[in-house]
A and B are shown apart, each in its own frame.
Chain A
């Protein structure tokens, strides 16, 4: 069974930094691209970032480009999101998601970790 478990969400001050983690199990981690998607309280989904299976290619939404860095450690079956220069508008539930394996879809999602940016 595919499992994705996010961690690292806390309350952080504007301008601060945070690293989120996602522990994956139940599938061959290094066969799949991985995503981060966020959802502000009471709002819709916003795609944040994508990393290829080998970490060689990364992509970002304009809203986080230059501030967030996605990475992965295939030896630890783990995905990361380094978040710098945090703003109030980054407050959201951050989901880790696995590429679906069919085409260009997000096939499985974790339960999310909450990041709150507030002074």
Chain B
């Protein structure tokens, strides 16, 4: 049950696109299409942004998109906005759940 690996921080200017990676193994990320992504603003509860690798729940902006290649999943935020500054976590389901180490997104 090792945590999935994410970069500690990613930054970008308003309007730019950024991508956050989430690396696991063939036993979790690579073995199942059950990767989800969560956004967490300081002092707030996490919010679901992406499920099943690339699906957006109702109400989530289409600026957020997800993908997967092998053992690495990715979250891309396009048209970066100030409100996107937050921590982001990936998660994979494998009969139990494991979260990523988290990535702090900074809007320059």
Contact = CB atoms under 8 A, between A and B. Distances in A.
Interface of A: 35, 37, 44-47, 50, 59-63, 95, 100, 102-112
B55 A102 contact: yes
Contacts of B98: 47
A9 to B, nearest CB: 14
Given A45-B102, A46-B99, A47-B91, A106 B55 contact: no
Contacts of B55: 102-103
Given A44-B102, A47-B99, A61-B1, A103 B38 contact: no
Contacts, number: 73
A118 B99 CA distance: 26
B57 A110 contact: no
In terms of DSSP, what is the predominant structure of the interface of chain B?
Answer: strand
Nearest to B95: A59
Contact of B52 (A50, A102, A107, A112): A102
A103 B51 contact: yes
B104 to A, nearest CB: 11
B45 A112 contact: yes
B89 A105 contact: no
A70 to B, nearest CB: 12
A111 B97 contact: no
B38 A45 contact: yes
